[in-house]
């Protein structure tokens, strides 16, 4: 515990000058790390200079710290950075990888023309027969980690498992939650633990595997896009 990567190692991995990185380090609640705002500003500058490789690393680090391993809100601590660097090292191939280079206009065109047909929704190699759809009184799947809790909404992921979506989801089945300070939510944590004794799975009742969606779901999705202000 506490043996986190040095600033030099982090700077080298992210392609940032070590002195510049040191100037951005902060301490919140006795925990060292970097604010989300600072990393997002740096990512924006990388995008403007078209340093896409480093940009993707910084973006991935932000996701690790904010979504996957949250501890302090809007703060990426060294524990999350340590996990990120370990994952990055594991995934690096000796032969390297080729990243398609595009300018801003080409990226904008590519993203604007993405559609559901662009996505490979399901790999038959997964061979998944049942899906966890609910835990106890939760209409979704609560997940508990060492630093906090989030929920997973399988209703929105059925197509990834090659099941069709036949109707819009019930609102409380897609309502997200995130717990940062577990010491203040002991009753809620106990409820999560108990919910995993009552796991509800579905399989054949989800219908045939065809990745299709019904018109009512498509209409709901279009309205949702407008509500959350997605650009396309």
pLDDT digits (tens, 9 = 90+) for 140-151: 888 887 778 888
Q: Is the pLDDT of residue 25 over 50?
A: yes
Identify the domain boundary among 53, 86, 112: 112
Inside any domain, residue 44: yes
**pLDDT of amino acid 94:** 44
Inside any domain, residue 189: yes
Report the number of distinct structural domains present in the chain: 2
Q: What is the pTM of this model?
A: 0.47
pLDDT-derived band at 91 (thresholds 50, 70, 90) equals low
pLDDT tens-digit profile of 121-133?
Answer: 666 666 677 888 8
Inside any domain, residue 1: no
What average pLDDT score do residues 210-222 get? 84
Inside any domain, residue 2: no
Say which DSSP state 209 is in. Answer: B
Is the same domain home to 34 and 74?
Answer: yes
Closest listed residue to residue 128, CA positions, set 156, 151, 158 = 158
**Are residues 214 and 165 in contact, defined by beta-carbon separation less than 8 angstroms?**
yes
Is the same domain home to 141 and 181?
Answer: yes
Strands (E) in 9-130, as ranges, are 26-28, 31-35, 75-77
The more confident residue out of 215 and 6 is 215
Is the same domain home to 30 and 84?
Answer: yes
Is the same domain home to 32 and 104?
Answer: yes
Identify the domain boundary among 90, 112, 134: 112
Average pLDDT of the chain, as a whole number: 78
Strands (E) in the chain, as ranges, are 26-28, 31-35, 75-77, 131-135, 141-144, 149-152, 178-179, 199-202
Is the same domain home to 146 and 162?
Answer: yes
**Percent of the chain whose predicted confidence (pLDDT) is above 90:** 3
The more confident residue out of 35 and 66 is 35
Domain of residue 204, residue span: 120-228
pLDDT-derived band at 199 (thresholds 50, 70, 90) equals very high
The gap between the terminal CA atoms of the chain, to the nearest Å, is 44
């Amino acid at each position: 515990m506490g043996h986190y990567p040095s600033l030099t190692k982090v700077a080298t991995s992210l392609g940032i000058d070590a002195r510049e990185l040191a100037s951005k380090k902060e301490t919140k609640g006795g925990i060292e790390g970097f604010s989300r705002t600072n990393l997002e500003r740096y990512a924006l500058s990388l995008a403007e200079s078209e340093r896409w490789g480093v940009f993707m690393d910084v973006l991935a680090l932000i996701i690790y710290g904010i979504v996957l391993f949250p501890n302090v809100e809007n703060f990426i601590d060294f524990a999350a950075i340590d996990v990120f660097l370990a994952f990055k090292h594991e995934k690096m191939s000796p032969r390297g990888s080729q990243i398609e280079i595009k300018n801003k206009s080409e990226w904008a065109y590519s993203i604007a023309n993405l559609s559901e047909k662009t996505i490979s929704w399901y790999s038959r190699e997964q061979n998944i027969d049942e899906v966890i759809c609910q835990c106890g009184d939760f209409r979704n799947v609560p997940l508990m980690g060492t630093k906090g809790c989030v929920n997973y909404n399988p209703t929105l992921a059925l197509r990834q498992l090659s099941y069709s979506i036949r109707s819009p989801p019930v609102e409380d089945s897609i309502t997200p939650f995130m717990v940062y300070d577990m010491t203040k939510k002991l009753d809620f944590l106990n409820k999560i633990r108990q919910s995993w004794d009552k796991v509800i799975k579905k399989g054949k009742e989800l219908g045939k595997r065809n990745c299709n969606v019904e018109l009512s779901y498509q209409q709901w999705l279009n309205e949702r896009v407008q509500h959350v202000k997605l650009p396309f």
